[in-house]
Chain A
């Protein structure tokens, strides 16, 4: 008996490395085999609530096509999904379809020949007809004139105010100018352990970009702060925005203690700066009794009124990655998914993110949900008046701005002038590379 056990033990242990090697081998051989035949269709969705929504769509697609099902996973989290996707493409572990691609980044990948041009695929024009207002598709074209992303969501960025605090501070409607906002802020912090605005002192690059872009467009209309010459740090609108942020941190309207003041959880923040529509849903989850109002960010006093302002909207969507599986099948799935409006409604209900559709306000399908969630109307109004940043240096530029300007301002280590000069230098250094 003992001898038998010993033999079993040895065999088991000897098997493990063998299995591991064999497993590795098997993976390699199947991979090489698949490149000649066919890779399974893999799809990276956005994680969290989005995953729940997409699951429904994918499962019903798989039911119809049991032979070639879509294998789906959420995008692995990391410092940013862009980096993850880039690494995945570089290391050959990318999925066939990936969601959550911002247009600027997709165009950057397209320059490196990593994506499939969608407008060359059959039926593209019909598919997008229902999905976007005219002219929009032109604005997301890459330098070579092709479209690489199928927009899935609109993310206009607005301010979400706590209605109770707004009224207590003596405001019926959200403040319009910086000085009005400051008045609101000083009243809010006067009421006790509150802050007025949840500026994130350690904001990631994309959030810094969100702030800057949204404030900038609110004041200037449909003009981008990022161009080929870099970031506009010199115009009076930019200076006014940085001064506004500096003022907020200096006077305690915003706090660096970001774990303490959380709009979503603790009812001690006046407003959420530059938040997407999905935040409304999250607030409701954590604080069911909270009432919120969405509004455009305030504008500098010399602009005066924000009528006709524009806001930032990062358009995110799906792209097909080259050499990672069958393009036809991927396209078939995408067409199927986006020609069925019920999945868009499903997405809206699960995530609170606006599906990219031209008929959001008109289509009766969405009416019920919008009536239940009054904040969302405001977002939809801004859909035609929002725009996203296209510069492919966005990642590097805003990373530089975060280090040179945003964090020093938040922690009050630099004054506005030096911060702006440093930011300009850092951006130029990025462009020089």
Chain B
């Protein structure tokens, strides 16, 4: 009887410990992704597969491979995102599409109808996907909006921009990703 109790308690404690450790490791990994990108470590971007905001298709992280990619996290209720949206759209038209650089807007923690209205208001023409439930934003360690990552053709982050990007900063990051160095 005593042995059964001891084994039961030990198993329960072990299971609890595994759950806690996994939660801590997963949380610290997610928080570490932007910091590692900022430190120049070129961490691999977490994988994703999201439905487009208009619901007509999907975009996955694999689709970005082979091209430099600018991944912008935004939400319609975020005021700085309203300032940034026209800038991102302009950069997409001047530095993105003509140079084969993929731009992707990930709308997260947002009402879908609000996000669609936002895209229409600001005339966004680059691909937009919807992060239902915010799982991808969490996996990427996004803590505030907007946040932007620039990925090299291998899907590794070469730059991280917390807050509104500047045209100069984004161009420099794109050039760095294109140069591979």
- Tell me whether A and B are bound partners: no
Residues of A within 8 A of B (CB): none
Residues of B within 8 A of A (CB): none
